[in-house]
Structure 1
Amino acid sequence: MAETGRRWRLPAPPTGYDNYPAISRDGRRIGYLRGDHGPYVIHDLVTGTRTEITAVGGRGGPSITTPYVVEEQSPSFWSPDGRWLAQHGVQRDEPWGAVVLGVDGSVTFVRNGEGDGYKGFLAGWVNTDELLWVKMSRSGDTPSVPDLVATVTGLDGQPRRTITLNRSSPWLGESFAGQWTATVSPDGRELLIVEQDDFAGIVRRFSLLDGHETAGPAAVPDLNMPCAAGWAGSTPAVPIYDDVATTAVLRDGEPRTLVAVEPEVGAKCFLWAADALSGKAHGGLLLGTSTAWWTWWLREAAAASLLVGGGGWAVRRWRRSRRQVAAPRVNEPGAATT
């Protein structure tokens, strides 16, 4: 969807699972799975080039025989230079890890590890050749209180360093960590952590240098999960759903609506290019960014009023012309004179 409201449909038929598309930070490329059996397509919106990766399919059951499978209902992460797209996925006969797709059509599988070597859920790129994973751990000084541990790996899957996240207050829950929990900032310096208990949400920010909490916790009512949180530059952007699906930025710890979409569109989750969230909120001249139900129909109501008013004027004009034609003129046969 463009800022003008224009929409395009991806040529991806319904599949057995929800495989979310992935738009690059600069909005130039979009990746999507065409069907359960593949291929995975990377579409360059500038040149129009479509790179089809036939080795990648979806998690559609035992009939899928592609060498690589990407996980459904999971976020995707473009590398800072826009050359690589990392997704939760698996190589046949391997534990779950990350499938990294190149814009040149190449595929690299990054092993996650098992047992003590398990690194958790993919959270994004620290730089152009390092990924970050997040898991919940109970192996600290107080095993009864869970910690979140972030692990940086190379594309070979080998750990390079780990960071324990030092929270300023207890976590909202004890087992909330999942694929939607963490997102690395565009500069690779911070980690956004999203917690949810029912519809109440808390957002925190941590330094990836030493793990200290840089901001938060910030309360976010009506947090919309499972949808990915992200960043508008250096500001967190989180999904919210309260009758109307919106994206809100957290400035000064308060969610402020930045984007809202008409309910009739039926959208729930949004995937934004970074530039799409870098500006300030804008809306109609009179109603601004109000999401009251009647504001979505204001243009239709105005158009209906013009149509009814114009139609009434046309009918009155037609009736007047009929009366003028029907009335006989003075000095014509049949006209009355005095």
Structure 2
Amino acid sequence: MKKKNIINLIRYHVEGNDVAFRNEAYEIAHDFNESGDSELAEYILAQLSSANTFVPQINENDLSFFKKETYEEEPLPLPEAIKDDIIGIINAIGHNVGINKFLFQGAPGTGKTVSAKQIAKILNRELYIVDFNSVIDSKLGQTAKNIAALFEQMNSISHPDKAVFLFDEIDSIAMDRTNSNDLREMGRATSAVLKGFDSLNEDVVLIATTNLFSSFDKALIRRFDTVIDFDRYTRDDLIEIAEILLDYYLEKFSFAGRNIRLFKKILDLIKIIPYPGELKNYIKISLAFSKTVDEFDYLKRIYKDAMDGKNVSLQEMKEQGFTVREIEILTGISKSQVSREIG
């Protein structure tokens, strides 16, 4: 602890600036922890968390660093392992025991953001997403100040038990400080995030996502109650999810025919089946661009993409396991002609 910390504490107390006083105290606790005196650091944090200090209440219109998000209406097919974890999170929040900080990590398109939206919907809570464009500032030290203000807004919301805050791609402000090009500025930002986590109201649910987990700041990882790995899709999972998505979108395109058996055969030819986020767009676009006079035009498009656009002979299609009728659907060549050519 430095002299300036004592001076600041006294000044903030005299001014009645409770927010600044608490932030200064958190910084002192952080310094003690870094110097090896973890017991004193924990004592300070405990006193702060139980202190009867006034925090002005704000409504959703005052959340200047957040954008209110609508619920996700589209299906959220997930593998059983991830689905069980999501159910566990919902149950944990319902018990009101202070388990309220969750990190979703995984590749883009694995369902992290959509899962957060569904959790908010199931809990009947409003969902607020951090607008990092308003948080990150080019002025030296301003980003850290914005982060501190952001957490103050979260803690001061009038109904914290009715909100879920989503830090989508939190790595924007919490990358590993040892790998940053600007260590001091990144250090300030990450330290501000750490302080914010340590002072977070237990009634507030915070969900963060990242697809750069290996570069994530390790100190911040420890602040989360649990980390959910979204990179747990098997090939069978992805094929099953694709079928669910196709069923959903076929309801919206009345001209399109349903042939799940053929659809799954085509998918099986794809070496690397994309994650749900990309699958969703892939299926939706294939249907949207299809010819309305051809009920299976979307399957032709998907097959062509699976073959990287190259022309495939009828014999090769037979070797891929397609029946005469399926070849007719994918090529437009009559069954009789297909039968003659493939023997």
TM-score, normalization: structure 2? 0.24
Q: Decide which structure has the larger Cα Rg and report it.
A: 1
Q: Which has the higher contact order (CA 8 A, sep 6+)?
A: 2
Structure with the bigger percentage of helix: 2
* Structure 1 length-normalised TM: 0.25
